[in-house]
A and B are shown apart, each in its own frame.
Chain A
Amino acid sequence: MMHRPFTLALVGNPNSGKSSLFNLLTGLRQKVANFPGVTVDVKVGRMRVGTQQVRVVDLPGAYSLYPNADDERVVLNVLANPSDPNYPDGVVYVADLTNLEKHLLLLTQLRDLGLPVILALNMADIAWREGLEIDEQQLARRLGVPVVCISAREAFHIEELRQLIEQMVQQPETFRVARPFYRLSAKEEAVAKQVAQVSQLCGGDHLYCMLLWAHHYEELLFLSDAQRQRIATIVQQAGFQSLRHQIDETMARYDAFLPLIREVVKRIDGARASLTDRLDAVLTHKVAGPIVFFVIMLLVFQAIYAWAEVPMSWIEHVFAALSTTLKQHLPKGWATDLLTDGVVSGLGGILVFIPQIAILFFLISILEEVGYMARVVYLFDRVLQVFGMNGRSIVALISGGACAIPAIMSTRTISSWKERLITILVTPFISCSARIPVYAVLVGFVVPAQVSWGPFNVQGLVFMGLYVLGILAALLAALVFKYVLKGQGNSLLLFELPVYRPPQWRNVLITVYEKVRTFVWEAGRIIMVISVVLWFLASYGPSGALEQAEQAALRQAQMQHLSAEQAGDLVAAQKIKASWAGVMGKAIEPLIQPLGFDWKIGIALITSFAAREVFVGTMATIYSIGSTEDELTIREYMTRDRRPDGTPVFSLATALSLLLFYVFAMQCMSTLAVVRRETGSWRWPLVQFVLMTSVAWLSSFAVYQLLS
């Protein structure tokens, strides 16, 4: 067998502070590991113990080895399979000392699996502040495992834990407990022994592992179909009632350790719990709760817009300057163009999103850390269930108003795959900040700025209407997906609302770092490739066409005595019209003509696939005003544009039709790249693209045909 580093698993209930301990032990030496068939994040990191490297696996939080959700399925699949690459050589079991009687069930199960275990009693600081006393030695003696009181948040007694881990790495055998905590009933034992004959992995000494196989053979992904079939037969023939036995076993375990805990822990009622109750009286109130939530979200958005603006424009300037400098110092030619207009602007297009993503996740993870997000899930679960989503979807839907990319990344907290997928698929319908410049240019064609209805400015109302349309489309699409998609949507919710506590900045910063890194590496690569392709389409054309267009434009500029800047704009306009993008614009004209769009709009539709806001820049280039980015000037030029028959290109009908197109269409390659990453295949981004483009096309078609 190949030598592998000692694998240490961190196991514990949700909210036991396991992830904080993981961050503390591994620092930034961690990455997310992929587990086949599930979407649950499992982090793997490294720590140094004495002279040895230890691999640390942070398994998802679980209450027991009877899985009820995807995270618990991962835990079971690792711990019930000694050949799993992540199967631990030892376990640190993290339990919340302030709530010990609810945290020990899984520990007793791990013990019975024959795993070397250390019990780390976390949140000792809080427990002691609240006057909780514990007799560690007595607990260790009675459970048969070493016990250490720690506080992951205060980095308290971590050195003691490290020393115990070092001992375990050197002599894992001494950390195993031979006598089982739970004695199998006669029937359980008989079934387990029969299952042991099916398995090639565990011998008869791991009877409890075999009992788990008998309970959960349908959920153990590592079993072959033949093994699963044989276990099913054994279970059926024995008349083994899995649920009944699970409940009996759970009760027996509790009966055994509850008296023990009463003996070793002396508690006085905590002040923290009563503070939580007082806060929750408002924060989860059926009327006040949602109001507080919307106020908080309003503040979050204000923060995103207010704080992200400066770094975003700073990033844009740096990349514009970099591009100009490179152009000045490198020899003219396609390689320089590719570098400046393709690679550098593509890179700028990726990095410009970082401030928004970082700020959004900074704020959301603070809300998560203090325990507020669990309340939000409770508040919105019922409403969103109607649309096939779940309480956690609210975060994505609201973040979508800033940018769909971080919004889609935030859906990982949704444990039901169907509810998560629906949320991912409909979030891009929510109008994001990149649509604002497009709306701003086009709204002027629909209603003049000065028109008002009583106190309301009509342009403002149209703006709001566009947002409402996006929200309605998202909900409607979700409803359709709810009925079309297969799979169990309505999982059990039944979750714990943790006690409010101050955020741990280390965890917040690690979350921000991870999200930004994931975005830059995973989505960034795809965005980069598409940027280069778009650059190629806009800079190259059928042979000779670009040169001819440039010559013609220069001649025209000479005849009209244009300034150097105006001549440059004219050349750019003629070149983009002759480029492959122009050719494609003309090629798709028959498709978009029924919507009232001409081939020039076609070019802008193609280039703005990179990101919606590119529409404005492309229109500026086409109308030879590339060097100004003033929305009013662009709108003026668009108003003057005429079709061959003399009618204006931008009538009310066209403008409305184009607005609707931008409300609904999936004009954002970054989002598609992120959806691919989050769903693991191109299938769902494709479904999303086809659906959104169809909705956009049909609604634009209907509006244009009705109004023109």
Chain B
Amino acid sequence: MVDLHRTPPTWKKGQCGRLVRVKDPRIASRLAVMGILPGSKVYVMQVKAWRGGYYMKIDGKNLALRAREAAALEIDF
């Protein structure tokens, strides 16, 4: 289950890297069905004020994530 108190990631706009793993199984399965698996290329397009949300490009797909959901992604920048 999603940990409500997890702090949002400190990614910055313009960073890019590769997805290492997804710590939350619910989010992992959601991403997997969209074709986003470990090894996918990640690019941070936008970060909302107070890290309230993230707009990412992952393997060419544009995705909006809430802070809690983004916190589940482990990315190797």
Binding site for B on A (CB under 8 A): 63-64, 66, 68, 99, 101-102, 105-106, 243-244, 246-247, 250-251, 254, 273, 276-277, 280-281, 284-286, 374, 377-379, 381-383, 385, 492-499
Contacts and interface: CB of A to CB of B under 8 A. Distances in A.
A243 B26 contact: yes
Interface residues of B, number: 32
Contacts of A254: 32, 35, 37
Interface in B6-39: 25-35, 37
Contacts of A286: 46-49
Nearest to B43: A277
Contacts of B31: 494
Contact of B29 (A246, A280, A381): A246
Contacts of B46: 280, 284-286
12 contacts: A99-B60, A102-B35, A243-B25, A246-B29, A250-B29, A250-B33, A286-B46, A378-B53, A381-B64, A382-B50, A492-B26, A492-B27
Contacts of B47: 286
B66 A382 contact: yes
A68 B45 contact: no
A497 B60 contact: no
A494 B30 contact: yes
A497 B64 contact: yes
B64 A374 contact: yes
A494 B69 contact: yes
Contacts of B33: 63-64, 66, 105-106, 250
Nearest to A258: B35
A247 B28 contact: yes
A276 B66 contact: no
Contacts of B45: 277, 280-281, 284
A105 B35 contact: yes
**Interface of A, helix, strand, loop or mixed by DSSP:** helix
B41 to A, nearest CB: 13
Contacts of B50: 382
A281 B45 CA distance: 8
Nearest to B62: A497
B30 A492 contact: yes
A247 B32 contact: yes
A625 to B, nearest CB: 54
Given A280-B45, A280-B46, A378-B53, A68 B64 contact: no
A378 B28 contact: no
Nearest to A244: B25
Nearest to A65: B33
Nearest to A100: B35
Given A251-B37, A381-B53, A494 B29 contact: no
Nearest to B4: A490
Nearest to A248: B32
A672 B15 CA distance: 49
A238 B46 CA distance: 45
Contact of B55 (A244, A280, A385): A280
Contact of A102 (B25, B34, B48, B65): B34
A382 B26 CA distance: 20
A307 to B, nearest CB: 32
Interface string B35-77: 1010000000111111011010101111111110100000000
B26 A63 contact: no
A264 B71 CA distance: 36
B7 to A, nearest CB: 15
Given A251-B32, A492-B69, A499-B62, 16 more contacts: A63-B33, A66-B33, A99-B60, A99-B61, A102-B59, A244-B25, A247-B25, A251-B37, A277-B45, A281-B45, A285-B46, A383-B52, A385-B66, A494-B64, A496-B34, A497-B64
Nearest to B25: A243
A496 B29 contact: no
A246 B45 CA distance: 30
B19 to A, nearest CB: 14
A106 B63 CA distance: 19
A378 B35 contact: no
B64 A377 contact: yes
Contacts of B27: 492, 494
